[in-house]
Structure 1
Amino acid sequence: MTSRRSLLSAAAAASLAAPARAAQAAGPRRRPPDPTLKAILREIDPHRIEAVVRRLAAFGTRHTLSSQTDPVRGIGAARDWIHQQLTAYAATSGGRMTVELQSFTQPVSPRVPTPTVITNVIATLRGSVTPERIYVVTGHYDSRATDVLDFTSDAPGADDDASGVAVVLELARVLAGREPEATLVFAAVAGEEQGLYGSDHMAQVYQNAGADIQAMFSNDIVGTGDAHDGTRPDHRTVRLFVEGVPTAETAAEATTRRSIGGENDGPSRQLGRFVKEVEPAGTDVRVVWRRDRYLRGSDHVSFLLRGYPAARFTEPRENFAHEHQDVRVVDGVQYGDLVEFCDFDYIARVAKVNAATLWSLATAPGTPKGVVVDTTQLTNQTTLRWTVGTEPDLAGYEVVWRETTAPDWTDVLPVGKVGAVTVDVSKDNVQFGVRAVDTGGHRSPAAAPRPAA
């Protein structure tokens, strides 16, 4: 006789006497890095990051409307330099990494007075096992002065967002020689300050191609843990903004999600939980359950609008007096988004968080697809179904759950390589998720179920 808390394999239509009380704790404990990830983290170099930030700031301005032909000043010079760096990194990849200049003409808009060519610089490291599965990381290389239409004044943009571009370039350098199972994309996008135009175009190109982007991360203003405003510096924390109800959901889908208490279980929230589990020692990711800060938006929004899971990394406390300011001295105090306000060890920590996240995602199986919960019957059990993945090293799946008031998963139950399972835990009382596990113990983010007839 099976116990009250038993596990039934619906896929096999047979009872498995595996008590659910044997479930292990599944809270946000750090997952130890594998040997390859340890080596990756050791190679991230704050001195190289500093060199990138200083070089980008030295272009004077990188305003989207600035010169595209001047070899030493303006966004064109910055574009060409970034392309050169990524091309050099790609040369070490054995042909796995390719680099492209993705250009388009942005029509006239409130912040673009004349049709303007905008160019994203994109390096793609093709996955060795499931290359169709894609993970994207970006920083925007354009900058601005106080007046968003001022393309002639100096706008070094060290923190916003040479720091994010430095993270992207360092990740591309360190990972170019590796062989992730899934595809990794490293992009320096432009047009962010004028209206997210570069990332909007990039995301649309992916959507038109039917790309399976399972996560996207924007690194925007990640230059320092010290706000330089008299508050105590925080050299360990980086904020990660993740939305709840997906931006791209229809009104009916959003209503359904809210009706089952799923506001905290959208794909981007699951990314937040995953990042906390894999964050490296010496760092502290502060997950914020919002799409972004008040009055702000970054390039992850372009991907959210198209239904892709996406999130934004940014420093713990900003000094708004130093951002988006013309370089000037007032009462002996220098203002402007200057290199001097950046902390390169801090940026390196942010890069390590990104590296741990991307590598852990790209070496694990993909996030389960088609996860549904059977709601056709009144029962105190829960039946979950999903599509079994095709990864050759897929070992099976785990069902995770937590109290509806808990932020993170608290229980996990291995269920094997099946596509359906019935658990003697009431779907009315907890929130469920399903995640994939490979033969090496790498785990995907969880996917929350939708109600299904």
Structure 2
Amino acid sequence: MNRSLRTPTKRKWLPAVALALSSGSLAFSVGAIAAPEQQQPEAAEQQKLHDIAAHINADNIERDITKLVSFGTRHTLSETASDTRGIGAARRWIKAEFERISADCGGCLEVYFQSRVISGEPRIPDPVEVVSVIAVQRGTSDPNRYVIMSGDIDSRVSDVMDYTSDAPGANDNASGVAGTLEAARVLSKYQFNGSIVYAALAGEEQGLFGGRIMAEQALADGWFIEAVLNNDMIGNIEGINGVIDNTTARIFAEGTRMDEQPNEANRRRFTGGEVDSPTRNVARYIDQIADRYIPNLDTMVVYRLDRFGRGGHHRPFNDLGFPGVRIMETNENYNRQHQDLRTENGIKFGDTLDGVDFDYAAKLTALNAVSLASMAWAPAPPANVAIAGAVQPSTSLSWDKIPGAAGYKIYWRYTDQPQWQFSRYVGDVTQFTLDNVVIDNYFFGVASISADGYESPVVYPGPAGAFRVGRDN
């Protein structure tokens, strides 16, 4: 295994300070900023989140990836009758693993197949049942609020329609499924306020069908999806460019939401929000989780839906207005993706076990598990967040009271900064005015906080930042 010898540099923001001349010398004043970040306590350090990160086991992930590779191919169109080869055998094994995990926690998971027959598509011309495996860990007090971790079952080789050749798919994407299984093993030992869903989605390579089926069903069932964490390739540390790095990861997050309406776009033009979709604020949340709880991992939030011109299983959720990000390795090796197994000119092609770093996959799995736990223990994000302050010296925010929230925190940052810089805990209220903080100079948001200090993602005011499908803002 490759192990890093360096610790990544963590981003730290210094509070804004106003300079003034006093008695011929420089003096510092914070009065114009009104409660900068250093005057507020840090977010509560949660020992349980450290414990969750520490219990993610790289050996379990290696075992599960090895088992998934053993099915030869997991192509969506591959055979389903065999117990040892093809997509059918793979999904039955995944379901059995979730059921085993559920048995260990006294039946805490609802495990089921979710399917639909797809046909008439460019990559599925004839009728094929696309079958995903879903495991739901119900929340105790807010069960209709869901945070989701997903990975993709299926694999492929160079020809996307070749369903008979060996397609190991060790990294793409047995790593994501193995990480989802391991997160379920660890998190099922706890109880949460909100529900956590572990999803092994099918049909990704043929057109993102598993995610589309799940997202459409969630919308029909009225699920409040707070976040989808799609894991697609979390095990490679050796890039095609020769870089070897196990200390960084990427979080892809769209900006303007796909389902934005024309009147909402016009409002956003005058009030902002193009970099504060709920997806972006989920990504910022995960980035902060990495800094606080995952040793030797620095995450990079990428302001795109996915890699340039490409896609993943979070996209169908984004299409319907649900917040969703893609978590993955920083350095891809294209010789190992979507390739026939072969060696040419001394270069080995194919997505095989020797291209996976299991410790790194465990590190990214820990990032997912801690992020899921933190959101599920926290109250729901604030709803109906509104803001006012045009042509005024101060900025006022308001929001609805959230069940389970003991208080709220207002965040703000300069408009050219990627992360929240300043914050103020305002207690159990539903409106607050930041005196002498001019609305024109910052972006603002509000987070809910539980009595024991778990925070929700930040919600930007208005429809651009609303977490609930249907626009409560």
TM-score, normalisation: structure 2? 0.87
Paired residue secondary structure (1:21): coil
* Alignment partners' CA distance in 2, 1:254 and 1:443: 29
1:101 to 113, 119, 122: 113
Aligned counterpart, 1:71: 83
- How far residue 295 of structure 1 moved from its aligned partner, in angstroms, is 2.4
- How far residue 145 of structure 1 moved from its aligned partner, in angstroms, is 1.1
- Could you tell me which runs of 5 or more consecutive residues in structure 2 were left unpaired when the two chains were aligned: 1-17, 19-30, 464-471
Paired residue secondary structure (1:128): coil
1:386 and 2:396 equivalent? no
* Alignment partners' CA distance in 2, 1:168 and 1:259: 41
Letter in 1 for 2:421: T
* Alignment partners' CA distance in 2, 1:373 and 1:69: 58
1:23 to 29, 36, 46: 36
Does the aligned pair in 1 maintain the 2:250–2:330 contact within 8 Å?
yes
Letter in 2 for 1:285: T
Letter in 2 for 1:246: R
* Alignment partners' CA distance in 2, 1:357 and 1:30: 18
Output one character per residue of 1:313-368: Cα deviation in whole Å (capped at 9) or x when no partner: 11111111211011112234331111111100110010011011111111111111
Does the aligned pair in 2 maintain the 1:30–1:276 contact within 8 Å?
no
1:170 and 2:182 equivalent? yes
- Could you tell me which runs of 5 or more consecutive residues in structure 1 were left unpaired when the two chains were aligned: 6-17
Does the aligned pair in 2 maintain the 1:26–1:410 contact within 8 Å?
no
Paired residue secondary structure (1:178): coil
1:59 and 2:59 equivalent? no
- How far residue 374 of structure 1 moved from its aligned partner, in angstroms, is 2.9
* Alignment partners' CA distance in 2, 1:390 and 1:197: 35
* Alignment partners' CA distance in 2, 1:102 and 1:49: 24
1:352 and 2:329 equivalent? no
Does the aligned pair in 2 maintain the 1:67–1:74 contact within 8 Å?
yes
Letter in 2 for 1:23: P
**Which stretch shows the higher mean deviation, 69-78 or 250-259?**
250-259
Does the aligned pair in 1 maintain the 2:34–2:434 contact within 8 Å?
no
* Alignment partners' CA distance in 2, 1:353 and 1:255: 36
* Alignment partners' CA distance in 2, 1:398 and 1:30: 11
Output one character per residue of 1:20-78: Cα deviation in whole Å (capped at 9) or x when no partner: 63332499x99675222222222111111011111111111000000011111100000
CA RMSD, aligned part only?
2.2
* Alignment partners' CA distance in 2, 1:256 and 1:317: 38
Aligned counterpart, 1:157: 169
Aligned counterpart, 1:297: 311
- How far residue 380 of structure 1 moved from its aligned partner, in angstroms, is 2.5
Q: How many equivalent residue pairs?
A: 432
Percentage identity across aligned positions? 39
Does the aligned pair in 2 maintain the 1:261–1:404 contact within 8 Å?
no
2:428 to 396, 402, 417: 417
Output one character per residue of 1:106-136: Cα deviation in whole Å (capped at 9) or x when no partner: 1220000201001110010011121111101
**Which stretch shows the higher mean deviation, 40-49 or 419-428?**
419-428
* Alignment partners' CA distance in 2, 1:331 and 1:290: 35
* Alignment partners' CA distance in 1, 2:308 and 2:397: 37
Does the aligned pair in 2 maintain the 1:94–1:177 contact within 8 Å?
no
TM-score, normalisation: structure 1? 0.91
2:194 to 175, 182, 202: 182
Q: Return closer, same or farther for 1:21/1:383 CA change in 2, 3 Å cut-off.
A: closer
Aligned counterpart, 1:10: none
1:395 and 2:406 equivalent? yes
* Alignment partners' CA distance in 2, 1:250 and 1:25: 39
Does the aligned pair in 1 maintain the 2:44–2:454 contact within 8 Å?
no
Letter in 2 for 1:308: F
